[in-house]
Amino acid sequence: MKEYSGWLFDLYAHPKHGIDLWLVGEDKKPHSFHQSFQVTFYAGGPVHRRRQLWKFLKDKPVRQTPTQRKDLYTGIQDVLEIKTEPCVYEELFREVYKCFPDLLYYDVDIPLLLRYAAEFNVFPLAHFKVEVEQGWNISNVISLDTQWELDPQLPDFRILHLRPDSNPSRNIPKSLLAHFGQFKYCLSLDEPRRLLSRLNSIFQQYNPDVILTSYGDTWLFAYLEELSKETKIPFNPNRDISRSVHKKKEISFHNYGQAHYRGEQVHLFGRWHIDDQNCMTYADYGLMGAIEQARVTGMPVQEMARRSPGAGVASMQNLEAMRRGVLVPYQQQKGEAPKTYEQLVIADRGGVIFEPLLGIFQNVAIIDFVSMYPSVMVEYNISPETVCVDEEDAWTIPELNIKVSSREGLIPATLRPMVNKRVKLRRRLKKMKKSDKAYQSYKASSDGLKWLGVVSNGRLGFANAIFGRINAHEALSFIVRKMILRAKEVAEDHGFTVLHVYVDSLFICRTDATKEEDFQSLLDEIERETKLPIELEAIYSWMAFLSAKQNSNLSVPNRFFGVMPDGEYKIRGLALRREDTPLFISNTQLQILEILKQEKDPSKLTHLLPYVVSIVQESFSALSDGIIPINELLVTQTLSRELNEYKTPSPAARAANQLQAIGRNIRMGQRIQYIYVKTKQGVYAWDLPDPVNPTWIDITKYKVLLFSAVYEVLQPLGVSRNVLKNWIFGKASYLVPPGQLVNRQDLPLFANLKYLHVDI
């Protein structure tokens, strides 16, 4: 018997029985093993139907045992336990479900790696030890760490980067760029045989653990597969060369009200493949964040990198349930508890969002609760099975007429270690400099956990969530509202002006509060009052809250920007944060902010207006002269529905129709790029074969967009639309007469401003 120590890298069903497991060893080498392992699922329902199922399965490759298991809501249940080999499980269950659709099924839709994690207390990239018998068969698994380590020991991954020299959806790539460590290669696509030979050589020489690609899912591997067939030169990117790549079909779906599209996926065996162009939130935290999410959720890294954080939260819940011996239903079983109309009015609300005070304010601090929603679920024991109970020791939310159990629920137990870890990571990051060697790694892990926390509350009220219930979501939202309002009261008791409240954050200021220590007593009292972790995010030299676009006297909650003393921004709702803003316009708006951030005293921001106007005039002139690169005028929008569902096609839909007319497959959730043009349709799809004629470009449309972007950052300074038009189009250099600058009390720093001289 031999022992091998390393990290759990990959795991999948063996073609005949058990599983194949890949371990990246402490010797930095990959090792492949086999292990006997069976998949278990359960069937519940009337006794006579379970007996019929037993007879149906008697001649199948299964082991059956009548047993009892715990249901989260109804307690101990009589069920039929069914064990089978992983390689035949999916086909077997489809057959069972087709013949017995009336039975209740449990532990069905569970990935193989998650089942293994539940049984052996390991997880993706777990540091563990295996005892191996003759024939590379694992006889024992010993975990050496937990997923809650702040400084997990991880292997040094061998990473190969592959990307084409252009976007395949627009241009036919001419070369493939490969990058491994300090070695870089440019592989011509004009010589298929040489290309495949060199790629095979690179794979053999470097034996990468991870392949990071651009367009690998949707173009590269399909292209290489086709070349391999044409040239008869084998190419297999798997480390396990006995397997073909695993493909998953493209899919369109809605998530939190937004349409998403995920193209066909290519997953590998024995090594990972991640396509950065076919992921949901991967760009926010990269490979290290995806690894953190995989370790915490139990999902394979290749899967977690592409999927939504909501899928990760569901995986965490399923893993905790299996480790507790709780059945995981195939379909949601717990509906909404009835309530009166009056109770519905109180309960059916979301988070607290204020309309902020309009204007620019000095020394604005943002304090926010760390992972507020999951923290509330943990601290106040909010879970689908803990609300609406009738227990003597339950505590009551009288406003909702809901009792909450004192016994720890499934959701709090799932989230508690994750919340604790993120709080520790956040506080460690605050003590570090961004230049510190470990900062980016901690930041990626923290951001990965942040996304899981952000969606955990929505999962609680999600209609199709296995462990979700609307009453639990309502209780959670009520407590969150109560806590944030209590925090506001405490802040006001400490003499702070609360400028804005946004879900889990408070924007506050006080004349003498300019340093971190000036806020500590406030934070301590809020934590005592709410039992929730809260932190000072930052102190901003100044922050501007913008008005509504259609009404300058009305503030809106999600449009503001501010600057920290070190020049870092806080921006919400500006054009440069929007996906559909052309790069040229985003850059112009950013140039304005770069000028404004030079002044830390907001009362002197108007002194910078001459420089701002000069930059803006140059931008408008460049637009008029047609010297802006066309790709900087691109507008990118996501299709919110299928093309045949549009009654009045949006610009993106009109551009998509142009692409569909030339044979392109267009689906809901895809990002469509186009240029505004002076034609009947008004747009020209960027991915059409023929380039757009520069004379077609609708310069007037882009001027309107540019003006709007400029105005929204200058409006808080008191600059009106008419004054801005004179500065830009009239190239004015004059003393602004009284009344031309907007002069309102809700712009406190400029309340006495009557004249402004602009020298250009």
Residue 506: pLDDT band by 50, 70, 90 thresholds?
very high
Helix (H, G, I), strand (E, B) or coil at 569: strand
pLDDT of residue 731: 62
Using alpha carbons, select from 668, 546, 550, 542 the residue that is nearest to residue 597: 542
% of the chain exceeding 70 in pLDDT? 96
- Say which CATH topology domain 611-750 has: Topoisomerase I; Chain A, domain 4 (1.10.132)
- Using left for φ > 0, alpha for ψ between -120 and 50, and beta otherwise, residue 346 falls in alpha
Lowest mean pLDDT among 164-173, 264-273, 408-417, 670-679: 164-173
pLDDT digits over 119-135, tens only?
999 999 999 999 999 88
**Rounded average pLDDT over 340-359:** 84
pLDDT of residue 462: 78
Per-residue model confidence as pLDDT tens digits over 428-452: 999 999 999 999 999 999 999 999 9
Percent of the chain surpassing pLDDT 90: 85
**What is the mean pLDDT of the segment spanning 448-465?**
88
135 vs 117: CA distance, rounded Å: 23
Distances (CA, A) of 533 to 379, 420, 570, 646, 675: 10, 10, 22, 46, 47
Question: pLDDT tens digits, residue range 367-417?
Answer: 999 999 999 999 999 999 999 998 988 999 988 889 999 999 999 999 999
Q: Average of pLDDT values for 731-751?
A: 43
CA angle 402, 404, 406 (to 5 degrees): 160
**Over the stretch 683-735, which tens digit does the pLDDT of each residue have?**
999 999 999 999 999 999 999 999 999 999 999 999 999 999 998 887 655 34
346 — pLDDT class (breaks 50, 70, 90): confident
- As its CATH architecture, domain 159-324 has 2-Layer Sandwich (3.30)
Q: What is the pLDDT of residue 333?
A: 66
What is the distance between the alpha carbons of residues 271 and 22, in angstroms, rounded to a whole number? 9
Taking the domains of the chain in order of start, what are their residue ranges?
A: 2-143, 159-324, 346-573, 611-750
Tell me, what amino acid is at 443? Answer: K
Is residue 11 helix, strand or coil?
Answer: strand
> Taking a C-beta distance cutoff of 8 angstroms, is the pair 469, 338 a contact?
no
Cβ-proximal residues to 702 (8 Å cutoff; 6+ apart), any chain: 582, 584, 585, 623, 633, 676
pLDDT of 265:
97
Q: What is the pLDDT of residue 756?
A: 34
Residue 753: predicted pLDDT: 35
Closest to 373 (Cα-Cα) out of 241, 480, 524: 480
pLDDT at residue 463 is higher than 90: no
CB 262 within 8 A of CB 306: yes
Tell me the pLDDT band of 679, cut-offs 50, 70 and 90.
Answer: very high
What is the C-alpha to C-alpha distance for residues 571 and 586, in angstroms, rounded to an integer? 13
Distances (CA, A) of 35 to 32, 63, 134, 144, 635: 10, 18, 12, 19, 52
Q: How confident is the model at residue 21 (pLDDT cuts 50, 70, 90)?
A: very high
Contact (Cβ atoms closer than 8 angstroms) between residue 453 and residue 374: yes
Q: Above 90 in pLDDT, residue 70?
A: yes
What distance in Å separates the CA atoms of residue 702 and residue 710, rounded to the nearest whole number? 12
Q: How many residues does the chain have?
A: 760
Is the distance from CB of 103 to CB of 44 less than 8 angstroms?
yes
Q: What is the tens place of the pLDDT at every residue in 605-625?
A: 999 999 999 999 999 999 999
What value does the mean pLDDT of the chain take?
Answer: 92
Quick one: pLDDT band at residue 461, thresholds 50, 70, 90?
confident
Contact (Cβ atoms closer than 8 angstroms) between residue 117 and residue 125: no
Both structure tokens of 397: 């939310």
pLDDT of residue 759: 32
Cβ–Cβ < 8 Å for 427, 420: no
Residue 61, CA atoms < 13 Å, CB-side half-sphere = 13
pLDDT surpassing 50 at residue 54: yes
Averaged pLDDT for residues 54-83:
96
DSSP state letter for 36: -
Query: Would you state the pLDDT for residue 338?
Result: 77
pTM of this prediction? 0.90
Whether the per-residue pLDDT at 737 is higher than 70: the answer is no
Instruction: For residue 232, give Cα distances in angstroms to 91, 188, 193, 354, 624.
Output: 33, 19, 9, 65, 55
Q: How far apart are CA 225 and CA 288, in angstroms?
A: 29
For residues 281-298, give the mean pLDDT: 96
Q: What integer is the mean pLDDT of 486-511?
A: 97
* pLDDT for position 748: 41
Q: Per-residue pLDDT tens for 71-91? A: 999 999 999 999 999 999 999
- The CATH classification number of 346-573 equals 3.90.1600.10
